[in-house]
Amino acid sequence: MTTDAVTESSGTDRAARRAVTVFPVLVLLAGAVGLAVPDALAGWKTNVPYLLGVVMFCMGLTMSVADFQGVAKRPWAVALGLVAHYVIMPGLGWLIAHALDLSPQLAAGVILVGCAPSGTASNVVAYLARGDVALSVSVATVSTLVAPLVTPPLTLLLAGEYLPVEAGAMVTDILKTVLLPVLGGLVVRLLLGRYVNRVLGLLPWLSAATVAVIVAVVVAGSAAAIKSAALVVFAAVVLHNGLGLALGYGAGRVARLGEPASRAMAFEVGMQNSGLAASLATAHFSPLAALPAAVFSVWHNISGAVVAAWMSHRTRRAERV
C-alpha cells in the first residue's frame, strides 16, 4: 500500500470513528432536551415523517451504481443477509416482548424496531470492525428497498396481537418516507454526482442531526411515561440488539461466508433503522410505542462501536502474531 493510500485510509478511519462516537452523544443530548422541555416539542410530532425523509434522501445521495453491482456479484450472500435480518430481528422482538411481559404499546414498539430495515450506520461500523463493507452496503441497500413489502406484513403478523395494525397505511408511509426519498437521492447522485461528491462528508452529520431531532420529539411525546418504563425498555433494547449482533455473526459463520463477511452480517442484522421505527410507531401507534426505537437509536450505535473496536483489535493482534 502506498503512503498516500495509508494516509487516506487512516483519515477515513478517524472520520468514521469520530462519527460513531459523536452520534450517540448527540442523540443522548437530544433525548435530554425532549425530557427537559417536552411542551416545546409537542407540535413537532407531525414533522417526524418529513425528518425521516431527509435522512433517507441523504442515504440515497450516498448510493452509487456500484452498490447494486455488489448485489449482482454475490446474490447468495446478500439473500442470506436479507433473510437473516428479517427473520432474526422480528422474531427476537416478539420473543423479548413476551419474555419481559411488556405492555401492548411497548411490545408493539419493540417488534416494530425488529421489523425495520438495516440501520443507516451499519456500514460505518462494519468498516471499523474490518468487516466486508461491500456486503454490508449491499444488504443495507436491499433491506431498505424491500421494506415497504416486508415491514408492514411482519408487523401485522407479530404485533397484531397487541395493537391494531393498518398494514396498508404503513406500506404507503414507508413508500413516502423511505423508498421515494432514497430513490430521489440516488437520481440526484446520478445526475449531479460531481456536485454531490463535494458534500458527501457532510451527509452523515446531517443525517445524525436529523435523527437526533426525531429522538427529541419521540422522547418529548412520552416524557411522562419514561420514568416508569425506562428500565424495562432499556433491558429489551439491550437484549434485542445484543442477540441480533450475535446471531447475525453466527449466521455468517454457519453459512461459511468467512470472518469479514460474518462481521458485516452481525451489524446488518443487529443494527436497525430505528428512525423509521420511531416514525411508524408515532404515526400508527403512540409516542410510548416509539420509545423503544428512540432508545435503540442510542444503544445500537454505542454497542456497535464497542463490538467493532473489539473485532478490529482481534484482527490487529492476529496480524502481529
Q: How many CB atoms lie within 10 A of CB 238?
A: 16
pLDDT at 225 over 80: no
Q: What does the alpha-carbon distance between residue 60 and residue 78 come to, in Å, rounded to a whole number?
A: 19
pLDDT band of residue 19 (cuts 50, 70, 90) is: low
Give 26-59 pLDDT, tens digit per residue: 888 888 898 888 888 878 888 888 988 988 898 8
Q: How high is the pLDDT of residue 1? A: 38
Can you give the C-alpha Rg of the chain in angstroms? Answer: 19
pLDDT band for position 15 (cuts 50, 70, 90): low
pLDDT digits (tens, 9 = 90+) for 240-296: 999 999 999 999 999 999 999 999 999 999 999 988 999 999 889 988 899 999 889
Residue pLDDT, tens place only, 148-160: 999 999 999 999 9
pLDDT at residue 67 is higher than 80: no
- Cβ burial 60-93 (10 Å sphere, 16+ → b, else e): bbbbeeebbebbeebeebbebbbebbbebbbbbb
pLDDT at 28: 84
The tens digit of pLDDT for each residue in 176-208 reads: 988 899 899 999 999 988 888 888 878 878 888
**pLDDT computed for residue 321 by the predictor:** 61
Report helix, strand or coil for 180. helix
User: Taking 80 as the threshold, does the pLDDT of residue 171 lie above it?
Assistant: yes
Contacts of 139 (CB under 8 A, 6+ apart): 78, 81, 82, 85, 118, 264, 265, 268
Distance between CA atoms of 89 and 228, rounded to whole angstroms? 25
Q: Domains of the chain, with CATH numbers?
A: 36-316 (1.20.1530.20)
Round to whole Å and give the CA distance between 260 and 251.
13
pLDDT on residue 204: 78
Residue 242: HSE in the Cβ half-sphere, 13 Å Cα cutoff? 7
**pLDDT, position 256:** 92
The pLDDT of residue 169 is above 60: yes
In tens, the pLDDT along 75-127 reads 999 999 999 999 999 999 999 999 999 999 999 999 999 999 998 788 888 88
C-alpha distances (whole Å) from 297 to each of 23, 31, 103, 273 are 9, 10, 21, 8
Provide the pLDDT for residue 60.
86
